[in-house]
Chain A
Amino acid sequence: MSVVYPDNRGRYGDYGGQFVPETLMAPLKEIEDALNEAMKDESFQKEYRNELEHYSGRPTALTYADQLTKTLGGAKIYLKREDLNHTGAHKLNNAIGQALLAKRMGKKKIIAETGAGQHGVASATVAAKLGLECKVFMGEKDIERQQLNVFRMQLLGAEVISVSSGDKTLKDATNEAIRYWVAHCDDHYYLIGSVVGPHPYPKMVRDFQRVIGDETKRQFKEKEGKLPDRIYACVGGGSNAIGMFYPFLEDDVELVGIEAAGKGIDTPDHAATLLNGTQGIIHGSMTYLIQDDHGQIVEPYSISAGLDYPGIGPEHAYLHSSGRVRYESITDAEALEAVKTLSQAEGIIPAIESAHAIAQAVKEAKQMDPSETIVINVSGRGDKDMNTIMEQFQEG
């Protein structure tokens, strides 16, 4: 890297940092020191890679989307199949890495926040596997909406803690997980699910997710003998996108992050943080967020629970301001259409989150030349969304 981010204050240009109560400074330092040491330790790296390979099933495939390419008649489309990970999404890459770190630090209890339940399931899964106690904080509203995932976590042996503060969704679950952590940091490890939160979390989660981009680069070169022209990934907090983009930042590859436009970017019901938000602080990090004129955080909206977050990882805020990554937005309706498109063209049912990336790629691939190539990160599978998709198609 020509410029190494984050800097020693945990900043990505103007973004990132540690905007947290004094009580969290010590536990954050403890994690940072342990992380730096672990990342240099070959035995830790080996253990992490071993779990990725033999537990999660990596490397995940890079699938040529034959039918979709032919139908659109433009760029050649490849799909990075993070949906093939154990538990059905990229979330496990990070959960494995952090849980191994927690264990190495001697912490026997982990806490996690979850919105739709994907990160909660990933955390509960690794906790079961590594013999750790797991508490998952989840908003009361999300618990109602995602009962299947709640049961899944409980079946895995985790305790799901209902959060009734604030708006009772992901941002409040995150607040509550942090509050709990402050009081119990001596024996608990907080396993954040995305590239958000105070330093060193955004960097750590990126480094545990970069396996997506590293694999893609290698696999693409094997298949095409070059690098792709464009790469697409959806962005909520932004962990699958950073994981995919990071290894390509210094390459001549166009990177496109897709935010959720919900019911439309010109309506109040969206989650397009970079395109429609303003600079500020959320969950300990300087970044972009959706807020009102008085600096109160506003609840976002997207049909996709995984993109329904009022903030975004600070590195995305930086890549947006530097212009290195182009950010676009896709509405609920466009994403649902893309679910159908990919399901019927390739026999792959994507998560609604991932469908945002697919929708944007489909729009653009048509305009591109058949000699050009693109990769879409299919961050997760759509099984978890069956109810939502069914309701939408029945209504529509």
Chain B
Amino acid sequence: MTQMVEQTRFQKRLKREKNLFIPFIMSGDPTPEATVEIAYTMQQSGADVLELGVPYSDPLADGPTIQEAAGRALSQGMNLTEAMKLVPKMRERGVTIPIVLFTYYNPVLRYGLEAFAKAMEENDVDGLLIPDIPLEESEEIREFTEQYGVELISLVAPNSEERIKRIAEQAKGFLYCVSSLGVTGERKDMNPDIASFLEKVKHYSQVPVAVGFGISSYEQVKLVQGHSDGVIIGSKIIKLIDAHREALSNETTRAGALQELQSEVEQLVKGNE
């Protein structure tokens, strides 16, 4: 019998390691009930991993689209505790892909590091992404995510240079490559040096390399897929959802809106196939 390292929840749920589609949605935007349904719709649209955003008052890494989504979610009373509680509901609804919680660090500190890691395990959260802790500040939370079987997702940026190796070697789940300098949100043009940056990252990474920040069209998806293992789409998804805000908020019109959303997302990631 061969000795097997026990797989994490994330690894068990991840069905492939190529051409990954990772959408970002904001908990509670437009409503907590809608978020559960949107998560399922993302899976139906071909999502391989779901990034579930937790709204924060001061989202430093985010552009206007995600800031506004966070603002709407906060005014709905959404927070870290409530966002985690959505995950079991998503599982009940049939979401089987890995779910990665995206939260800034301050709410996590306020919750308590170990209590939070434990709550993620209890709520069946598979991964954690904290955009405002670089490798140097990640030791404390990493101890607890490892203890409770949660993959701590790392980020690398085009200016990470000699840090790429160190970050990539620690990477769990998937490695998040920031496409170009700046905050989240649409960009007209992709970073022209992205191919060489991604080659370098892939050289050191043991996990799938996915690219995010500014990907908002099928052309960009295709371009990035060619050089990496997947795409992360946030602001564009938030905009598509926001266009159906009213219909999604209302139970009687939700199903129709979800259907439209599904075809729009499919078109974004698969083109007019």
Contacts and interface: CB of A to CB of B under 8 A. Distances in A.
Interface of A: 9, 17-23, 25-27, 165-166, 171-172, 175, 178-179, 182-186, 278-284, 289, 291, 293-298
B60 A291 contact: no
Interface stretch (B94-102, B158-166, B229-237): B158-166
Given A280-B109, A281-B132, A182 B181 contact: yes
Contacts of A294: 79-81, 107, 110
Contacts of B111: 295
A22 B161 CA distance: 11
Report, nearest first, the 6 A-B pairs whose CB atoms are least far apart.
A295-B110, A183-B182, A295-B107, A294-B79, A26-B159, A296-B57
Given A284-B132, A295-B107, A295-B109, A25 B57 contact: no
Contact of A291 (B59, B61, B110, B183): B110
Interface in B54-106: 56-61, 63-64, 67, 71, 74, 79-81, 105-106
Contacts of A284: 60, 132
A137 to B, nearest CB: 13
A284 B110 CA distance: 16
Interface residues of B, number: 40
Contacts of B81: 294
Interface string B11-46: 000000000000000000000000000000000000
Contacts of A175: 58-60
B134 interface: yes
B269 interface: no
Contacts of A20: 60, 132, 134
A22 B155 contact: yes
B136 A18 contact: yes
A13 B86 CA distance: 37
A280 B112 CA distance: 11
A282 B106 contact: yes
Contacts of A282: 58, 106
21 contacts: A18-B134, A20-B60, A22-B156, A25-B157, A26-B160, A26-B163, A166-B71, A175-B58, A175-B60, A179-B60, A179-B63, A179-B183, A185-B159, A279-B109, A280-B109, A280-B110, A281-B105, A284-B132, A289-B106, A294-B110, A295-B80
A165 B67 contact: yes
B58 A21 contact: no
Interface string B129-141: 0011111110000
A18 B60 CA distance: 13
Nearest to B130: A19
Contact of B58 (A9, A17, A297): A297
B173 to A, nearest CB: 16
Contacts of A17: 136-137
B152 to A, nearest CB: 13
B247 interface: no
Nearest to A165: B67
Nearest to A17: B137
A183 B181 contact: yes
B195 interface: no
Given A21-B131, A23-B159, A25-B134, A185 B56 contact: no
A272 B74 CA distance: 25
B81 to A, nearest CB: 7
Given A166-B57, A295-B80, A23 B110 contact: no
A87 B108 CA distance: 41
A242 B9 CA distance: 48
B178 interface: yes
